């Protein structure tokens, strides 16, 4: 492991607190901060993977909203009142000039009985792996020696 301050290779890193940040450093840099006792580890250090997905508004949101509203026989003003929004917001959404936010899309979905939100771009996020980028705090700051 490398020291997070000077980037020197160390076999026995020391955990210190320096200006509120907890760091693993070499023995010579340990005097720059206050030593921290190691925390007990209660969970296993297995790698965990999570599937992350993102909510997005469908591309044809404007035509979906307009046709569902007309199917219910509502005016733009009635729909706006139903979901507690301004009428000009409904106009802009139906014209395709303003995509609804996720919160607004959920209101429209409930009121009109349509689907405006889709889940896309699933990513795998791996936790528990250390990423050795080679870039340390020591690359950013210069340590004054007395």
Helix, strand, coil proportions of the chain in percent (round to 5)?
Answer: 30, 25, 45
DSSP character at residue 16: E
Mean pLDDT over each residue of the chain, to the nearest integer: 80
The CA radius of gyration of the chain, in Å to the nearest whole number, is: 27
Please say if the pLDDT value at position 22 is more than 90. no
Please say if the pLDDT value at position 27 is more than 60. yes
- 63-119, pLDDT tens digit by residue? 999 999 999 999 999 999 999 999 999 999 999 999 999 999 999 999 999 999 888
The structural domains of the chain, ordered by start, are 1-39 (no CATH), 52-122 (1.10.260.40)
């Amino acid at each position: 492991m490398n020291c997070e301050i000077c980037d020197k290779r160390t076999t026995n890193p020391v955990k210190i607190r320096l200006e509120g940040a907890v760091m693993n450093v070499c023995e010579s840099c340990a005097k720059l901060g206050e030593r921290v006792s190691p925390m007990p580890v209660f969970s296993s250090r297995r790698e965990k993977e999570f599937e992350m997905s993102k909510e997005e508004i469908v591309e044809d949101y404007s035509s979906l909203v307009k046709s569902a509203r007309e199917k219910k026989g509502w005016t733009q003003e009635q729909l706006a009142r139903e979901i507690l929004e301004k009428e000009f917001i409904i106009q802009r959404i139906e014209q395709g000039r303003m995509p609804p936010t996720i919160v607004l899309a959920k209101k429209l979905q409930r009121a009109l009985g349509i689907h405006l939100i889709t889940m896309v771009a699933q990513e795998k996020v791996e936790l528990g792996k250390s990423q050795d980028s080679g870039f340390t705090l020591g690359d950013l700051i210069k340590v004054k020696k007395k």
